[in-house]
Structure 1
Amino acid sequence: MKALVLEKTRHLALRDMEQPLVLGLDDVKIAVETVGICGSDVHYYTHGRIGPYVVEKPMVLGHEASGVVVEVGANVGALKPGDRVCMEPGIANDKSRATRLGLYNLDPDVVFWATPPIHGCLTPYVVHPANLTFKLPDNVSFAEGAMIEPLAVGMQAVTKARVSPGDVALVIGAGPIGIMVALAALAGGCSTVIISDIQNPKLEIAGCYDGIVAVNSRERDLAGFIREFTGNWGVDVVFEASGHPSAFKGIFEFIRPGGTAVFVGMPVEPVQLDIVSAQSKEVRIETVFRYANVYDRALALIASGKVDLKPLITETYPFGESVQAFERAAEGRPRDIKLQIHLGKDAQ
């Protein structure tokens, strides 16, 4: 099959690649329709590694996907050929201690699409476990289905934050994940989400949503804004979603006594935290790595209309222009939130 292959750093090729597709008893075969380009895909393209995960041989990219079931294994009853679906991309060992604790995202043996050395889904067909394949409601498009994966990260962050109705939250970083976190926080009960960034085009997109207050932290003192907005109390939750090392400086200043800090973004280098400032407020600190047990709820939020992701889809490229799509994603244009690649019938 043709696939978008990362041959080495900064070298992509759309070419034929041997990918045996063995349909197990509990699996489904899926014709891939739409795949989103994630920041991790771009990072592998530009740097060849993320922390300990190093691309050492050609690897197919992509893990945010939707498609159509074309074949089912003998034990599969909940899905049938023709069903429109999205796929949760991480396959855990169901016998591991982490999985038994409900923490399958932390299973050391998890097999996750487009994480070296595992191939991703930017290819016409994939085989995937049926229990990680979710039927799309009729009112959810393939494009939206391919956005469930990043929304699940936002859902995980909000779940870890234990948001209460009426909370005020701050999200640092208005990239795709930051906006997903903000939308999930609103859906989870926050009355207002302040989102900060230094790029006005991204803030303009985020600020179009009711309940989100956008602040350019380069043009305005963020700490002063929060003091004014909350009456010198502080926000209930801070979500750090940029991963930029500078964002961690003074982060506990934004949080009310007894509030929560959730670290979502992944810095490329170690960062310094003022632990005493956290202790003096008894700030609860949570961290996020992917997600667990939230995929179906993320899908339900989109289907219900409580979360609208359509304004975040900047442009869709045909499969034949996948390399150009990644080159654009690597540019980091300020108005680009989510670029997607459409495979559809032309790629089959």
Structure 2
Amino acid sequence: MKSLVLERKGELSLRDFPAISKAEETLGPRDVRIKLHTVGICGSDVHYYTHGRIGPFVVNEPMVLGHEAAGTVIEVGQEVTHLSVGDRVCMEPGIPDPNSKAARLGMYNIDPAVRFWATPPIHGILRPTCVHPADFTFKLPDNVSFAEGAMIEPLAVGVHAATKARVKPGDVAVVMGAGPIGLVTALAAIAAGCARVFVSDIAQTKLDIAASLSPAIVPVNVMNDNLVDTVHQHTEGWGADIVFEATGSPKAAAQVFEPLAPGGCVVMIGGQPDPISYDAGAAMIREARVENIFRYAHVFPRCVGMISSGAIDVKPLITRTFGFDESIAAFDLAASAPPSDVKMQIVIDE
């Protein structure tokens, strides 16, 4: 079937791809077959395209990209009772070993054996159909579009981060980075109860989008303004209760404790390819709590519910949409990192 294939670093093709094994496409009793509709372009997809690897995950052979997706159920396994043919769904892309210790402890996202779409050697879903476990497939309410459904996956990262932060009503937060993950984290923090969220970045266009999302968001262009000074001005010198690091920048990560209030929490979201500077003294004098997240767990239904209820609106984050035949051009544009774009999506099924 025609798929978007990363042949090797820097080379994409849109071609028939017979390499997906028969086992991957065989419908089991607790599986569903899904016709893909909308797939988001994630920073990890782009990084595999431009660099050929992320940490220990290396593209050694052609791989189908894509893991943020929504579509329609076209076939159900004999033991599936909560989904039916015709249901519009989104899919959680990481499948753990159900018998692993991590899965049994409820931390299935950090199962070393997890199979995650578009993470070598597992193929992604920029293709017409896929087979997926029904337990990791979630029905979309009628008022949630396919485009919003494909945003559930990145939103899940933000909701998981807010959960790990243990947000309390009235908290003040800082989100470093106004990319897709930074912005969904800001939305999740507000939905969880934050009274004010400072979002910092160097791209004014992205900060303008951030400011439009909620009156609780205060954009800070760190090219012009000092983040710590701005936070202190609004908190009587106390600092932020929570700092979310969502840039993946070593320079930003080295500064996470500077705007943090005593007793506050830092949540590390952005992936760092190399070891980073860590100010142990700054963490100690604040008695800071530091959390790290890896993807997400147990939050997809919450994300669907919040979008359906209107508690979170992800539509302003979808800045550009492409047809399936435009997939290579879409990735080339995403790789250029235009400052006016947050989330680009590809529509497979018109």
Structure 1 residue aligned with 2:342: 337
Structure 1 residue aligned with 2:278: 273
Equivalent pair of 2:213/2:316 in contact (CA under 8 Å): no
Structure 1 residue aligned with 2:302: 297
User: In the alignment, which of 168, 171, 182 is matched to residue 172 of structure 2?
Assistant: 168
1:141 CA displacement: 0.2
Write the distance in 1 (CA, Å) between the matches of 2:36 and 2:177: 30
How far does the alpha carbon of each residue in 1:296-334 deviate from its partner, in whole angstroms, 9 at most, with x for none? 101111000011111111111000110000000000000
Write the distance in 2 (CA, Å) between the matches of 1:183 and 1:139: 19
Structure 2 residue aligned with 1:8: 8
Structure 2 residue aligned with 1:106: 110
Structure 2 residue aligned with 1:142: 146
Aligned pairs for 1:304-315 (under 5 A) are 304-315=309-320
Structure 2 residue aligned with 1:35: 39
Aligned pairs for 1:120-269 (under 5 A) are 120-210=124-214, 211-269=216-274
User: In the alignment, which of 52, 72, 80 is matched to residue 76 of structure 2?
Assistant: 72
Write the distance in 1 (CA, Å) between the matches of 2:313 and 2:184: 10
1:270 CA displacement: 1.5
Letter in 2 for 1:11: E
Q: What is the TM-score of this pair, normalised by structure 2?
A: 0.98
How far does the alpha carbon of each residue in 1:176-202 deviate from its partner, in whole angstroms, 9 at most, with x for none? 000010000000010111000010000
Write the distance in 1 (CA, Å) between the matches of 2:179 and 2:346: 19
Structure 1 residue aligned with 2:321: 316
Write the distance in 2 (CA, Å) between the matches of 1:167 and 1:221: 21
Letter in 2 for 1:161: A
Write the distance in 1 (CA, Å) between the matches of 2:88 and 2:253: 41
How far does the alpha carbon of each residue in 1:198-256 deviate from its partner, in whole angstroms, 9 at most, with x for none? 10000000010221110001100111111111100000000000010100233212111
Point out 4+ residue stretches in structure 1 off by more than 6 angstroms: none
Letter in 2 for 1:32: L
How far does the alpha carbon of each residue in 1:93-112 deviate from its partner, in whole angstroms, 9 at most, with x for none? 11100011110000000000
Look up the SS of the partner of 2:194 in the other structure. coil
Identity %: 57
1:78 CA displacement: 0.5
Gaps of 5+ in 1: none
Letter in 2 for 1:78: H
Write the distance in 1 (CA, Å) between the matches of 2:80 and 2:253: 46
Report the more deviating stretch, 12-21 or 47-56: 12-21
Look up the SS of the partner of 1:182 in the other structure. helix
* Number of positions where the alignment pairs a residue of Structure 1 with one of Structure 2: 345
Q: Is residue 100 of structure 2 the alignment partner of residue 96 of structure 1?
A: yes
Alignment root-mean-square deviation, CA: 0.7
